[in-house]
Amino acid sequence: MITVFIQKLINISTKYLSMKNNIFIKLLGLAFTALLLVFVGCNKDDLVKLDAEMATWKNDGITSTSVELGGIVVAEGDGISEYGVVWGTTENPTTADSKKVADNVEKAVYWVTIDGLEHLSTYHYRAYAITDGGTTLYGKDDVFTTLAHKPTIIISNEATDITDITANIAANVPYDGKALVTAKGICWSTEENPTVENTFTDEGEGMGEFTSALTNLKAKTVYYARAYATNSIGTVYSTQITFTTLVGIATVETGTASAKATTAQVTGNVIYNGGLPISERGICYGKTENPTIADGKVTNTGDEGEFTVDLTGLETSTTYHARAYAINSEGVAYGAEVLFSTFPTTMYINGSFVPGWTWTNDAVLEMIPVHSNPHLFWKIAWFDSGAELKFNSVRDWNGTEFGKTGGTADANGVWNKGGDNIPVEAAGYKMVVVNLLANTIQVTDPVIYAQGSAFGNWNGGEFLFTPDVADAKILVSPAAVADDNARMYVTATTLTNTDSDPVDWWQAEFSVLAGKIEYRGTGNDLAGAPITTGQKVKLNFSTESGIFE
């Protein structure tokens, strides 16, 4: 009997030592010591049998609908016929509430799995045991809270309002799983079981019915679609439905447009042929919005894919509208329109030096075109410090005026074309270059060279004009070394042709004829300007005059 009782004490010690609760371990140690002393001091007939006792252990594995609950057999007393766990929504549940009977006890501890619980709900639970004598014992009351659940999502049986490129699908979130639905919608793909990693709509938060409009579809194509809903627990998907878009017109995209004086180049792309062969594609254009093939058009052979067309015979200084188009047996499809403007034949400078910035004022400056380079204009003029400049191809505030963008010009005084006024920091002569191909405006110190036999050779870039020491508004050439005609030209880093190479000197040439500065511009070769040995050319761009002396 002594041996049996010691063994039971050892078993109880083992049971408690297997637990993680330090309080139970300490209590067990004290109880074991006391009982051992009693046992040692007693005879066989003096042994005390422990009363049956239960303790609530812990919970684990909580989900939205289930939990694992545990109990401890502290002492078996005269015997236990049933043990398990009871639970309910109020404190100290009993076997009259919900209960689950444990199958077996392992090292004094047992676990039961409870299913069918309500989402995001707090429950009370206790371990219990029923002795052989019919007494029900309970452990201490404890609580746990189930998690929220994934929402419920239902999709309609079929898509509606199907066209070649659109469809509507209805769905419903009838239950949010007791957590806010943060996103819901329809996801779709040409592959089965689409997810939000594919194309999807976002119909906002919360429960309820919604209808999603699917757009940018391809004609004559089978699509797979599922509704989805997301809360803090995760994303769930409905069953999958399929639908097929109708045959339709093509899907077309207009690309970029770049223009010159009387020509332009426009790109397009037939993204999808609508499920039918393309009989014609190209670019249509005109001077009004949204041109059609009834206006001007240039065709390009091919079906799907990118293409480029060249437009010719355009008017200078004109804004055009252009759209890509494609035709199949269902009709004509158009891309969005793009605007481009051909290079103008004139360019003007307005600014703070013009009273009231009025375009009709005589102070407005007309720029010089560059021969064979309709994208280039230049002008040398005297500006006061702090002057501001604007440009337009017509003398009007008509919305096509321009200036610069950005806060700082580059090292060569080059600004990108934009809408802001261009500042002139220091007073003096400035050479202004507008390059419509590069979309730049350059404001820099003028660089002028004399050229030809009168000055020694035709090499170029040698005989530089410099300011007169007595009058900064007078620019002076080196002295002529022979009797011949004086030839002069300007240069700048942005005076470049369509290949981005510097223009030829004669394309930016000017001369002095009858005391007046004359510019070649787009015209023929200038008349000869005789100069004699030892004479210098003196230019005054403020008065547009010059002399040889």
* pLDDT tens readout for residues 136-164: 999 999 999 999 999 999 999 999 999 98
Segments in the chain below pLDDT 50: 1-48
> How much is the pLDDT for 2?
39
> How much is the pLDDT for 75?
87
| Residue 16 maps to a domain | no
| Residue 29 maps to a domain | no
78, 134: one domain: yes
> How much is the pLDDT for 9?
40
Task: Return the beta strands (E) in 384-460 as ranges.
Answer: 387-392, 403-405, 414-418, 422-424, 428-435, 440-444, 448-451
| SS3 of residue 344 by DSSP | coil
Which residue do the tokens 């047992």 mark?
A: 110
Q: Radius of gyration (Cα) for the chain, nearest Å?
A: 46
> How much is the pLDDT for 35?
40
376, 493: one domain: yes
> How much is the pLDDT for 183?
97
Of 74, 161, 148, 146, which is closest to residue 114 (Cα–Cα)?
A: 146
492, 534: one domain: yes
536, 416: one domain: yes
Answer whether 0.75 is exceeded by the pTM: no
Where among 312, 342, 372 does a domain terminate? 342
534, 386: one domain: yes
CATH number of the domain at 139, please. Answer: 2.60.40.10
CATH number of the domain at 522, please. Answer: 2.60.40.3610
| Residue 390 maps to a domain | yes
| Number of residues written out for the chain | 549
443, 507: one domain: yes
> How much is the pLDDT for 49?
53
364, 505: one domain: yes
> How much is the pLDDT for 20?
36
381, 456: one domain: yes
φ, ψ (nearest 5 deg) of residue 539: -115, 140
Q: How far apart are CA 358 and CA 373, in angstroms?
A: 29
> How much is the pLDDT for 219?
87
Where among 244, 262, 295 does a domain terminate? 244
135, 170: one domain: no
- pLDDT digits 0-9 by tens, 425-481: 999 999 999 999 999 999 999 999 999 999 999 999 999 999 999 999 999 999 999
| Residue 10 maps to a domain | no
| Residue 388 maps to a domain | yes
441, 537: one domain: yes
500, 401: one domain: yes
* 3 state SS for 206-229: CCEEEEEEECCCCCCCEEEEEEEE
Where among 105, 128, 147 does a domain terminate? 147
506, 409: one domain: yes
| Residue 448 maps to a domain | yes
Q: Look at the chain and report how many structural domains it folds into.
A: 4
Q: Which residues contact 227 (CB under 8 A, 6 or more apart)?
A: 153, 154, 155, 169, 171, 184, 185, 186, 237, 238
Domain with 178 in it? 152-244
